[in-house]
Structures are given as structure tokens and as C-alpha cells.
Homo-oligomer: A and B are copies of this chain.
Amino acid sequence: METRIDRIKKQLHAASYKLTPQREATVRILLDHEEDHLSAEDVYLLVKDIAPEIGLATVYRTLELLTELKIVDKINFGDGVSRYDLRQEGAAHFHHHLVCLECGAVDEIQEDLLEDVETVVEKRWNFQIKDHRLTFHGICWRCNDLGADKPEKDA
């Protein structure tokens, strides 16, 4: 995991920012909670455990910075908060989400799946796609009672 932080450090330096202790602590929390979809407040509370002096504004600033550098993506599931999600290293596009209307769980789909759709959109709508957001709302495998199974691990 150390190398991952180092690479992020390089990305910051490349944009002439420093990896301050506060920023490092924030990134560590994000790495430790890659599965989750934390709000700024969530991150703040978790970071306080390893860096108690940190202020909420700094967390917001750091998350904004990381978003700018495309290290994290800011998402919104319709409750009043923004959530922050680490991008897969080297991923060209943002991954997709499955939001369960029953239990509220948010699962991720790392596969692109949209290549064909994007080709159509670029051609027919003359739109040069830079990124996308795709979220499905429905019932997850956990809440689906028809003897549903956990899906195979995501690629």
C-alpha cells in the first residue's frame, strides 16, 4: 500500500502541491475505506483518529484537491451529501454504481461496459466524451429473495 501513497505524492508534486501530514492522513483513510463511499464528514471523523488536530475545512480542501487531480471522484447519490470515491489507478473512466433501494448498499462495477454506448453517443450526438457517471437503482443481490447469490468478484 505504501507505493500507492508514493505515487499519489508524485502526482501532487507534479502539480506543485505538497503531501502534508494532513493530506497524507486523509489519503490513508480513503485507501483504508476503498469499498465505502464516504462523505466529507465521514472522512473527517475517521481522519481525526489518526490526526486529531485536523480541521474539517482541511478535509474539504484536500478532497477538492484530490478531485481536481482525478485521484478521487466526487459523487452524489441524491441524499444531500457529496461522497468521495478513489479512482482505480490508471482507470480512464469512472466506475459505475449499484444503489439498492431496499437496504441502501452501494456496490461498484469496475468494468467499463459503456464502450459501445459511447461510440454511438460520440458519433450521433457529436459529443466528445471525457468521462461519465452511471448509477443503477434497484434491488441488490442481498435483498433479492429469489435464492439470489453473491455475484462473482468484479474484474
Contact = CB atoms under 8 A, between A and B. Distances in A.
A109 interface: yes
Interface residues of A, number: 38
Nearest to A123: B151
Interface in A107-155: 107, 109, 113-114, 116-118, 120-121, 124-141, 144, 148-152
A125 B113 CA distance: 13
Contacts of A107: 125, 127
A131 B138 contact: yes
A101 interface: yes
B144 A125 contact: no
Q: For A76, A126, A135, A152, which residue has the most chain B Cβ atoms within 10 angstroms?
A: A126
Contacts of A128: 138-139, 144
A21 interface: no
A76 to B, nearest CB: 5
Copies in the complex: 2
B114 A127 contact: no
Interface string A70-90: 000010101000000000000
A129 to B, nearest CB: 4
A146 to B, nearest CB: 9
B113 A126 contact: no
Interface of A: 74, 76, 78, 98, 101, 107, 109, 113-114, 116-118, 120-121, 124-141, 144, 148-152
